[in-house]
Structures are given as C-alpha cells and as structure tokens.
Structure 1
C-alpha cells in the first residue's frame, strides 16, 4: 500500500499530504483551483492543533508568521466583561494565524510533484482493491486509497454516501482583515461581544494584521444590502463597543467576506472500503468553537498514523474513523450548542444569557481546557 489519492488541496488536504509524505507514502493531491490559494481570513490554532504542527516540525515557523494568543474574553455588546479564560496554560501555545500563511507553510513543505492543480474530481470506481478517480479534464488516476478532503460540499462524500445537503444553521457571517490595530485592543486577547441575535469578535494575527468576524441570524442565501457589505455592518454595529465600528470603518470593502453557516449532524460511516473523508468533508462544524481547521489537522495526523500501523487501507480507515468520530461528534454538537446561545433576540433573554455565561465562568474555562488538552 503506497499510492494515496487526495482530493482537495486546502488546509486538510495539504496537511494530509505532508503527514503521509513524512510517513513514507506517496500522496498526490488533486485540487480544482489553478493555483494554491487559501481564501478566508484568520484562525486560532489552539494547543490541540499546535501539537500537530510541532509533530510535523512546523511550530516554530508558525509562531513566526502568527501571533501568540493568551486569553479568550466574552463581553456584552457594550464591552462589559462576562468571562475571561486564560488559554496559555498548556505546554503548547495558541497561535492566531492567517489561513493563507498556514496553508503556505503546509504545502511549502510537501514536494512540488505531489500537487496537481486545475483538476476537478468527477467520479470514482473501485476495481480489485484499487480506486480509480476520474476528472473533468479527462485525467484518470489510480491509487491504493483515496481521501476526500474537498470541503463542505464534498464530491467524494456524495460519491460514497449520497447527495444529502449540509444543514443551514440560521446564521450568516462576515470576516474582515485590516492593518488597523485599535488602541483599546488588549494584546494577546481574542475578544468576543454578544448581542441580540448577533455577535462580533476580533483577534490579532501575525504581521500586524487584525482579523474580525461578525455573525447574525439571517435566512439562507440572504443577499448583501443594497448599500454594500461595509455600510450594512457599520449600521448594524454602530452602537456597539466603540472598537467594533472602528474596525469595520478601517476595513476595505474588498477585504470583507461573507458566508452562510452550515454543518451536518454527525453520522457514521465516513468511509467505504479504501476511501475515506477528512475535515469538512467528514464532519463540518460551525466556527463557534474555532475547531474546523484544528480538527482537520488532527485528522491528517491520525490518518497517517493509522496507515503506518495498518498496511491494509480498509482496516486503517476503519481505525481512523473510530478514533476520530467520538471527538469530532462532540465538537460539532458543542459548536451548535454554542451558536444557539447566540440566537436570543429578546432583551430579557439576552440579559439572562449573559448572566448565565458569567455564572458558568469556571465550567466554560474547564470545557476550553479539556477541548484543547487533547493530543492526537
């Protein structure tokens, strides 16, 4: 068992290619875009993910292009502190990093011949323990195993599990990136503000970049307001904590992305024979716990470990799934639970939620600890 086909060259696919190369396999990544470019904005790599980077020998570089994060603070919409969790209590750091910087770090360490760009996966066939993958260009490749790391609307997932669409969770989100650092920003902090059916958060990334995100309950596929994204957000958040409208005003319209939020109720199996799924293709989750990219890194590392221990890919993928399912199921459910706390709109319900969060401070802190103390 040697040749592994990976569909999708995002963070999960690139990390898998790197982990497999290091473990002595021959992975080849097929990515539909013509250049390796990770869009999006910032992510927090919690200790469970920096553990993976350390094992892949990339942690020091990640720290150089990222920013060390020490606290996670929840506040009311006007800036009254509800909970302040210190997140630098582990043997490993929490790093705020731009998605593109992490992506680059991963694929720069994978030999160049392991990536085939501009190849759109269409279908697959199983023949005599070999997987045959067919692409829109007419390319056909075969391998001993295939891993679908092709995201929320994974074509590999559809091929092996059917076309069940992901679940819209009634939230729309905006993400912005700016060089402007507000003078009230507390160094090392992720600061989150909770209002009626809305939230806003920001954190520092490497290279002096500030990353912010906003979320609001909304119907699916709601178009941008006629005035444009930036103006719409300035209006929505005008009377929030003063740093928030400042950050929006300092961001170029072109640097504001918007997406609807989806997940899938956790179900098994993810695998069929010598084909399996990874990251969002297997267990898409809401961003409320900040674990999407982190769990994809864990998946990549575990899959390489299982293939090293089990020469038969069918047995290896079963082992991988049984190791990963309980953890990712818990995080998907926790992320959804956390999002539901953000749905309250009635002022009294919002006040009760904020009081509840304050009362639950130590429970919130210990749930953060157990989530990030995991070492794949």
Structure 2
C-alpha cells in the first residue's frame, strides 16, 4: 500500500488554498502555513473567467461561486468620455464568467480545508534531505514533509530562499480598488465597463450581494500619492460618482509589479505556484485565474507520478508556456494604457475599434483553456 505523501504549502491565499483543497481531495496529506493571524483574503473584486470557473467546477465549488458572485456577460472598452470602442461577449462558453469578491472566493476555497491551516506563521528557511524537505518558521515551529510548494505571493520568501533576493519590476502604474453599494444609472447588468484615457484607466463591475467593484490605474512614479477625485473629475459621469460614493476605508492603493517569466520554478521536491512563480499585471484579469489553474495542474501531476521531482518538473513544463504568454500579453496591454500623447491615444482607440474581432478572439483563446 502506497504511503500518503505530505505536502507543505507556504501561503494560504487563493492559490495556496485552492492547491490545498485540490490535493486534499486527491488524498494527499496537506499542511498550509500562513503568516496572517486570521483566515481572510484582503482586496476587492476579481473576474473569474471560464478557464477559472472550470477549475472551480472540477473542485465541486462552481455552484457556491455562482451563488456568491454575479454573472458577467460582456467586457466593454470605452473612451474616458464613454464612447464605446469594443464590446466583447464573454458568455459563449460552457462555463460562466463570474464577478466575485476575493474574500468570498477565499472563504469558499478554505471552507473544506480550514483545519489544514496554521496561522500567524512566517516562513524562514527550508532544508532538503533526500526525498524529504523540512521547513522552519520564525516562531520556531518546525515541520517535515515530502514536498514544499511556495504559494506566498509576489514577494515570496520561498522563492528568495531558492534563488536569492530579486525584487519584482515596477511597471509604472499604481492602482486603486474600491467597493461600494452605489450602482450608477449607466451601469449595464452583466457588464464590465472599462474606460481608457491618457495614461489612466478606470473600470467597474458588479460582484455578488449587490456590491459594485471599481478599479483605477494611473501612470506614475513608484509610491506617489494622488487625489482620485481630481484625476477623474472630467471623465464619464459614473466614474466620479463611484469614487465619491466609496468610503475611503474601502479603497486600496497598490503599485503594480511583475517579473520577467523565467525557469526553473524550483528544485527537486520544492516548487512555486501563482504569483510566487509568475506574477503578472492585472490588465487581463488573469492573476487569480492562473493560480487556480496551477492548483489543478500540480495536483494532477502529483497524482500521475509517484516521483515528486518528476511531477514538479512536469507541472512546470505544462504551465510555463501558458503563463509566460499571459504575463507578456498583460505587460503589452499595460503599455497600451501608458500612452499619454493625444495623437497616440487617438490612434490606439481607432486601432481598438478596427481590431474588435481580433480582441474578441484573444479573449476566447485565453478563456477556452481547460487545465
């Protein structure tokens, strides 16, 4: 009888929680260490595209996500004044697209594996010894298992322990994410409305429980502060309305980073997952979706091979081409948003109008993938 393998996961966000759930359902022994003192996800809203809702369906959680989210049918790009550039239907797949609060998704993922979490633990170091790997936390806690997965985000300490400290790349944008109960009259049910201006952007969409999520981005130097109300005061009327209607406590500002996609992601029985392996800009809305895909693929690879090193190599080989493509396309999309010259912005807008069908096709190629 084959002995149950123990997998240690560092990081209990969406990627770590999804991986723990998938592995637990597949019969692995899982331990998750999370530095937060309580089991909750920060942030605001995300779009779960069909490639991600496929993963939730495989994990038996799709109905829960639909119940807690809002079905999305269209992704509409507009000028800052509200003139439509492109309108892409996103409800043509066999699986739905869902707008959901990150905390609601995290709660759904954690509900069946909460007992596997140890909270308030910050990773310090690992040690490999043959087929085993041990981890030490700053608290003094020690654990040993058959494999280690670093799912500890953009500034992953597991990544740093593997490959040395290397800061992520600031990509010239800061972003704000807001949550409010105010729904503008101009909102079209089922739509993601995204407005493109000169070095700025703004979008809004519905989440579950009748909440409106909005996001803004501005080309700026790292760490600078700006007044949102002033920046977007002359934009489409729903935008300053949403900003004014949002409590400042419900607005999160974050600088945007990624990394140049590189391999390897690990060595032997240690690997990385999600933003720890392949952080990307949010311009295509695929960050959390890629972490969910990773969770399913790494579980399948571990099920298919009794050799963890080979399973992790196979996982990396499967995932790298797809995530590399999406990281690079997210960066290209971000650079289109950097344009500030009025002539360049006008040309970009005309290009988007002309390329509407190609943009729709690119959405299909992203979202039709099934891990």
| TM-score, normalised relative to structure 2 | 0.98
Q: Secondary structure at the match of 2:291?
A: helix
Determine the structure 2 residue equivalent to 1:183: 185
1:337 aligns with 2:309: no
Find the partner of 1:97 among 88, 100, 114.
100
Counterpart Cα distance in 2 of 1:16 and 1:107: 10
Summarize deviations over 1:26-78 as a string: whole Å, max 9, x none: 11100011101100000000000000000000000100000000000000000
1:161 Cα deviation (Å)? Answer: 1.5
Counterpart Cα distance in 2 of 1:74 and 1:128: 53
Count of residues in Structure 1 that have an aligned counterpart in Structure 2? 368
1:129 Cα deviation (Å)? Answer: 1.7
Counterpart Cα distance in 1 of 2:366 and 2:87: 17
Find the partner of 1:194 among 192, 196, 200.
196
1:18 aligns with 2:21: yes
Determine the structure 2 residue equivalent to 1:136: 138
Counterpart Cα distance in 2 of 1:128 and 1:348: 61
Find the partner of 1:51 among 49, 54, 65.
54
RMSD between superposed Cα atoms in Å:
0.7
Determine the structure 2 residue equivalent to 1:293: 288
Counterpart Cα distance in 1 of 2:134 and 2:59: 29
Counterpart Cα distance in 1 of 2:168 and 2:267: 20
Counterpart Cα distance in 1 of 2:130 and 2:364: 46
Determine the structure 2 residue equivalent to 1:204: 206
Counterpart Cα distance in 1 of 2:346 and 2:130: 61
1:340 Cα deviation (Å)? Answer: 0.3
Q: Secondary structure at the match of 2:337?
A: coil
Find the partner of 1:278 among 273, 280, 295.
273
Counterpart Cα distance in 1 of 2:32 and 2:167: 25
1:220 Cα deviation (Å)? Answer: 1.1
Determine the structure 1 residue equivalent to 2:257: 262
Q: Secondary structure at the match of 1:341?
A: helix
Counterpart Cα distance in 1 of 2:350 and 2:115: 55
1:164 Cα deviation (Å)? Answer: 1.3
| TM-score, normalised relative to structure 1 | 0.97
1:113 Cα deviation (Å)? Answer: 2.6
Counterpart Cα distance in 2 of 1:25 and 1:304: 9
Map 1:216-255 onto structure 2 (within 5 A): 216-222=218-224, 224-225=225-226, 232-255=227-250
Determine the structure 2 residue equivalent to 1:319: 314
Counterpart Cα distance in 2 of 1:117 and 1:267: 31
Q: Secondary structure at the match of 2:222?
A: coil
1:128 Cα deviation (Å)? Answer: 2.2
1:371 aligns with 2:354: no
Counterpart Cα distance in 1 of 2:259 and 2:215: 22
Determine the structure 2 residue equivalent to 1:127: 129
1:302 aligns with 2:304: no
Counterpart Cα distance in 1 of 2:290 and 2:186: 32
Summarize deviations over 1:268-314 as a string: whole Å, max 9, x none: 00011100000000000000000000000000010000000011110
Q: Which runs of 5+ in 1 are unaligned?
A: 226-231
Q: 4+ residue runs of structure 1 moved beyond 2 angstroms?
A: none
Counterpart Cα distance in 2 of 1:335 and 1:30: 30
Find the partner of 1:4 among 4, 7, 29.
7
